[in-house]
């Protein structure tokens, strides 16, 4: 399979949900090099710092897992075994638990970095054959609030916009996101648009001054957790000033009357006080939105990762609905996806409450359709355990076995001690991984070595529903296998039929067939069609051989009535509030050059030149009152644990708020810099997405003993 290419072949960057195209060359030593794909519609040749250094993560194989390993007791060392031995034992243990305790006694925890084909096979295996919905992914930590809000508002989890809408918008409201660091190539399009069109208005809503603010006409530095109050205040002003689209609301929207009542509950002065910003700034934002002919809202984790994440999403989407700014060029709600294939996972039902092709778990006909399609067991209507619930269930013994693939929950999950305790109590842990670094491996009874990016083939879908081909260029090291192959081999060991595929494309074709007749149909697609069109946005119009750039241009939504629905829940906020003992609010997030838990970017020294270690960002006023100087070591503690990092004293954060990056903690360091030692385990009641952006902490200067 290794091949030296005179001409490069194309693939897709495996980091964020922007989905940039890359050109890949492999030399005679099997060394991979990567540059941006000039012909890719997303990035036109540009790459951010992570994408530019993609090859180093592939070429450095020093940390790679090379063969399956196994042990019969955690006190014993792991020993090399054959694939057959590892999978036969795993199948025997899973079967024993399923026979004795039922299918809900086992679970699979996967990742938004899995390829669509891998996601599809995993869902089929778990939901169609094992007979449980206990499959969740780290997309639960990222996008599940947006998924729930899209379903409530439009009837389906459908991001309506395309990236080209950026250049058509004349007002962009960016709330709870720092795309300049987290979605850099997309943000460059926003910057270029603003440079070409200075009259375009950009509003950034964030408790911190971030790089995204550098091109903003208005930065609303709200108190953490007050986004809904701000959005309702904007809604009230737009209504009072007659800057709503009444024709659109009458014909295409339900729920406007209740919304009007809701937003009138608070005066502008009250809202401004709660948000911690001036009334004049809210008025200016309402003016920018009201004057706009094409209004785009963009958001990500600041809204999603909250105990009221779904409601925050709904309140932002309502601004698009009351102004009639949906399904029009340059307009609409646009959730920025964190992971490269969180969207692909959503297409194949890759969360505990979803089914493939946007079918519903509580719809009898949908479940029956899948059962017929897979010829499997009965698809359960009981929602599976979500990410945090899985580790709770390991603690109390409801869950006996967990299979973790392509993710490091010990760093990424909230309240990390609970994850450690859950894994310690688990009767059986399978870890499917590329690297020997994650601490999750310490808890593994079986380790399965997986192929990495460039070593396997499949597809991914980016934030604008754009499907791209991900190609294989080199063989995986040692005995490592593509994730889909591992899952299919396990399914066969379990005695399930329907898991013999001749290629990744064979799986893709089955996935394509499963979408026929649904709103996300990609009937007619295969790899050659995708490649001939370069990329395709779903739904695919088979007869016209064309993707769909923008949804809802006909103003027909996927709800029963065909109308979009404005939801107007109260703007109550009920996270862990600061108190005397823990007086500051901690918010966590990403930095520019690292990705997730650093198992890939942490290998590239260049990427540490920007920021080389975890830190606590704190306002000078708070730092002064606590005797903290820039660069000194501080202890940060919450009810759950503590962290010791250096302070960065910066006026860019609001007084009373501190920020800690989420990347560090397990792979290369001790866990004393793990942000999730501190975060709470509250989740949104609907989306079950954790509250990473808000918890109460105390900060003290570290005194050496
Ligand atoms: Fe990769 Fe995202 Fe950077 Fe594009 S913006 S190169 S997809 S990390």
Q: What is the CATH code of the structural domain delimited by 144-335?
A: 3.40.228.10
**DSSP string for residues in 534-571:** SSEESSPBTTTTB--SSS-TTS--SSTTSSEE------
> Is 47 a pocket residue for ligand 1 (Cβ < 6 Å)?
yes
Tell me the pLDDT band of 605, cut-offs 50, 70 and 90. Answer: confident
- Mutate which of 21, 43, 189, 593 for ligand 1 pocket (most atoms within 8 A of beta carbon): 43
b/e burial code for range 520-532 (CB count within 10 A of at least 16 → b): bbbebbebeebee
> Is 50 a pocket residue for ligand 1 (Cβ < 6 Å)?
yes
Q: What count of residues does the chain have? A: 705
> Is 682 a pocket residue for ligand 1 (Cβ < 6 Å)?
no
Residue 78 DSSP one-character state: P
Q: Which residue's CA is minimally distant from atom 3 of ligand 1?
A: 48
pLDDT of the residue at 666: 62
The yes-or-no verdict on residue 294 having pLDDT over 80 is yes
Give the class (CATH, top level) of 9-59.
Answer: alpha beta
**DSSP string for residues in 1-67:** -----SS-EEEE-SSSTT--EEEEEE-TT--EEEEE-TT-TTTTT---HHHHTHHHHHH--TTB--S
pLDDT of the residue at 667: 47
**Across the chain, what does the average pLDDT equal?**
95
pLDDT of the residue at 7: 61
Distance (Å) from CA 397 to ligand 1 centroid: 40
Pairing of strands 466-470, 564-565: unpaired
Angle formed at CA 175 by CA 170 and CA 181, multiple of 5 degrees: 95
Tell me the pLDDT band of 704, cut-offs 50, 70 and 90. Answer: confident
Asked if residues 402 and 426 have their Cβ atoms less than 8 Å apart, the reply is yes
Distance (Å) from CA 360 to ligand 1 centroid: 32
Report the candidate in 645, 671, 670 with the shortest Cα–Cα distance to residue 660: 645
CA 461 to centroid of chain Cα atoms: 12
Count of helix runs (H) and strand runs (E) in the chain = 24, 28
Tell me the pLDDT band of 6, cut-offs 50, 70 and 90. Answer: low
Ligand 1 atom closest to the Cα of residue 184 is: 5
pLDDT of the residue at 548: 97
Q: Where are the domains of the chain?
A: 9-59, 69-142+349-457+473-501, 144-335, 584-701
Give the list of residues 6+ apart from residue 689 with CB closer than 8 angstroms, or none: 140, 141, 142, 144, 145, 304, 305, 306, 309, 683
> Is 54 a pocket residue for ligand 1 (Cβ < 6 Å)?
no
Distance (Å) from CA 328 to ligand 1 centroid: 27
Give the rounded percent of residues in the chain with a pLDDT score beyond 90.
Answer: 90
> Is 34 a pocket residue for ligand 1 (Cβ < 6 Å)?
no
> Is 179 a pocket residue for ligand 1 (Cβ < 6 Å)?
no
Ligand 1 atom closest to the Cα of residue 51 is: 6
Report the candidate in 590, 598, 305 with the shortest Cα–Cα distance to residue 439: 598
The yes-or-no verdict on residue 511 having pLDDT over 90 is yes
Distance (Å) from CA 626 to ligand 1 centroid: 39
Asked if residues 2 and 30 have their Cβ atoms less than 8 Å apart, the reply is yes
Q: Which residue's CA is minimally distant from atom 2 of ligand 1?
A: 16
Ligand 1 atom closest to the Cα of residue 52 is: 6
Report the candidate in 520, 183, 154 with the shortest Cα–Cα distance to residue 317: 154
- Mutate which of 178, 184, 191, 337 for ligand 1 pocket (most atoms within 8 A of beta carbon): 184
- For 117, half-sphere exposure in the C-beta direction (CA atoms, 13 angstrom radius) is 27
Residue 126 DSSP one-character state: I
Give the list of residues 6+ apart from residue 370 with CB closer than 8 angstroms, or none: 127, 128, 355, 356, 359, 376, 379, 514
Give the list of residues 6+ apart from residue 291 with CB closer than 8 angstroms, or none: 171, 201
Asked if residues 86 and 403 have their Cβ atoms less than 8 Å apart, the reply is no
CA dist 509 → 92, 280, 503 (Å): 31, 55, 10
> Is 15 a pocket residue for ligand 1 (Cβ < 6 Å)?
yes
Distance (Å) from CA 47 to ligand 1 centroid: 6
> Is 295 a pocket residue for ligand 1 (Cβ < 6 Å)?
no
> Is 330 a pocket residue for ligand 1 (Cβ < 6 Å)?
no
Which residues sit opposite 642 in a β-bridge? 637
Q: What is the CATH code of the structural domain delimited by 69-142+349-457+473-501?
A: 3.40.50.740
Q: Which of 301-315, 335-349, 511-525, 631-645 has the lowest mean pLDDT?
A: 335-349
The yes-or-no verdict on residue 8 having pLDDT over 80 is no
CATH architecture of 584-701: Beta Barrel (2.40)
> CA–CA separation, 666 vs 562, rounded Å?
48
Helix (H, G, I), strand (E, B) or coil at 637: strand
Ligand 1 atom closest to the Cα of residue 185 is: 5
> Is 20 a pocket residue for ligand 1 (Cβ < 6 Å)?
yes
The yes-or-no verdict on residue 250 having pLDDT over 70 is yes
Q: Which residue's CA is minimally distant from atom 4 of ligand 1?
A: 20
> Is 249 a pocket residue for ligand 1 (Cβ < 6 Å)?
no
Q: pTM to 2 decimals?
A: 0.96
Report the candidate in 345, 328, 335, 250 with the shortest Cα–Cα distance to residue 293: 328
CA dist 276 → 273, 282, 319, 620 (Å): 5, 11, 21, 18
Ligand 1 atom closest to the Cα of residue 186 is: 5
- Mutate which of 13, 453, 593 for ligand 1 pocket (most atoms within 8 A of beta carbon): 13
| Segment 370-428, tens digit of pLDDT | 999 999 888 999 999 999 999 999 999 999 999 999 999 999 999 999 999 999 999 99
List the structure tokens of 107: 């679970």
Distance (Å) from CA 478 to ligand 1 centroid: 29
> Is 98 a pocket residue for ligand 1 (Cβ < 6 Å)?
no
């Amino acid at each position: 399979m290794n091949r030296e290419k005179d001409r490069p072949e194309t693939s897709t960057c495996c980091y964020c949900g922007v989905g940039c195209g890359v050109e890949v060359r492999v030399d005679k030593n099997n060394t991979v090099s990567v540059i941006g794909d000039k012909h890719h519609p997303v990035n036109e040749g540009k790459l951010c710092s992570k994408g530019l250094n993609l090859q180093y993560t592939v070429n450095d194989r020093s940390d790679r897992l090379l063969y399956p390993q196994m042990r019969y007791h955690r006190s014993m060392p792991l020993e090399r075994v054959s694939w057959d031995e590892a999978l036969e034992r795993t199948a025997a243990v899973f079967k024993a638990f399923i026979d004795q305790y039922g299918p809900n006694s086992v679970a699979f925890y996967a990742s938004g970095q899995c390829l669509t084909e891998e996601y599809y096979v995993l869902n089929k295996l778990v939901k169609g054959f094992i007979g449980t919905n206990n499959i969740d992914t780290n997309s639960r930590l990222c996008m599940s609030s947006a998924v729930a809000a899209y379903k409530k508002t439009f009837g389906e989890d459908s991001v309506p916009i395309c990236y080209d809408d950026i250049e058509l918008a004349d007002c962009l409201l960016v709330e709870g996101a720092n795309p300049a660091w987290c979605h850099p190539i997309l943000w460059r399009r926003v910057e270029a648009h603003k440079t070409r069109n200075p009259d375009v208005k950009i509003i950034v809503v964030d408790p911190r001054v971030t790089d995204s603010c550098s091109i903003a006409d208005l930065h609303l530095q709200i108190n953490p957790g007050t986004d809904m109050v701000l959005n309702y205040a904007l809604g009230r002003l737009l209504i009072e000033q007659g800057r709503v689209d009444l024709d659109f609301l009458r014909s295409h929207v339900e729920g406007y009357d209740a919304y009007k009542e809701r937003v009138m509950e608070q005066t502008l002065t009250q809202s401004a006080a709660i948000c911690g910003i001036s009334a004049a700034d809210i008025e200016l934002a309402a003016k920018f939105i009201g004057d706009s002919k094409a209004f785009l809202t963009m958001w990500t984790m600041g809204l999603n990762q909250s105990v009221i994440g779904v409601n925050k999403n709904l309140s932002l989407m309502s601004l698009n609905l009351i102004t009639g700014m949906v399904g029009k060029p340059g307009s609409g709600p646009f959730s920025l996806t964190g992971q490269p294939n969180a969207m692909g996972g959503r297409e194949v039902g890759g969360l505990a409450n979803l089914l493939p092709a946007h079918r519903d778990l509580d719809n009898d006909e949908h479940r029956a359709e899948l059962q017929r399609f897979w010829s499997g067991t009965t698809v359960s209507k009981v929602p599976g355990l979500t990410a945090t619930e899985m580790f709770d269930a390991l603690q109390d013994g409801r869950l006996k076995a967990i299979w973790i693939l392509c993710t490091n929950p010990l760093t990424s999950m909230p309240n990390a001690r609970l994850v450690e305790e859950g894994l310690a109590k688990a009767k059986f842990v399978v870890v499917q991984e590329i690297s020997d670094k994650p601490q999750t491996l310490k808890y593994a009874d079986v380790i399965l070595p997986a192929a990495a990016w460039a070593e396997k083939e499949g597809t991914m879908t980016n934030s604008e529903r754009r499907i791209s081909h991900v190609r294989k260029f080199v063989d995986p090291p040692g005995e490592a296998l593509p994730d889909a192959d591992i899952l299919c081999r396990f399914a066969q060991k379990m005695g399930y039929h329907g898991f013999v595929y001749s290629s990744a494309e064979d799986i893709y074709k089955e996935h394509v067939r499963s979408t026929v007749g649904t709103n996300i149909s990609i009937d007619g697609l295969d790899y050659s069609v995708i490649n001939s069109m370069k990329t395709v946005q779903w739904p695919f119009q088979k007869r016209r051989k064309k993707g769909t750039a923008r949804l809802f241009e006909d103003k027909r939504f996927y709800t029963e009535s065909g109308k979009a629905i404005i939801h107007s829940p109260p703007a109550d906020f009920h996270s862990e509030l600061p108190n005397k003992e823990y007086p500051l609010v901690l918010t966590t997030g990403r930095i520019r050059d690292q990705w997730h838990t650093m198992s890939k970017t942490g290998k590239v020294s260049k990427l540490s030149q920007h920021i080389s270690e975890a830190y606590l960002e704190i306002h000078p006023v708070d730092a002064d009152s606590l005797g903290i100087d820039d660069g000194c070591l501080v202890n940060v503690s919450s009810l759950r644990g503590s962290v010791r990092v250096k302070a960065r004293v910066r006026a860019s954060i609001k007084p009373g708020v501190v920020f800690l990056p989420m990347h560090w903690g397990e792979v290369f360091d001790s866990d004393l810099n793990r942000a999730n030692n501190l975060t709470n385990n509250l989740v949104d009641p609907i989306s079950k997405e954790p509250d990473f952006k808000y918890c109460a902490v105390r900060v003290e200067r570290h005194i050496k003993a």
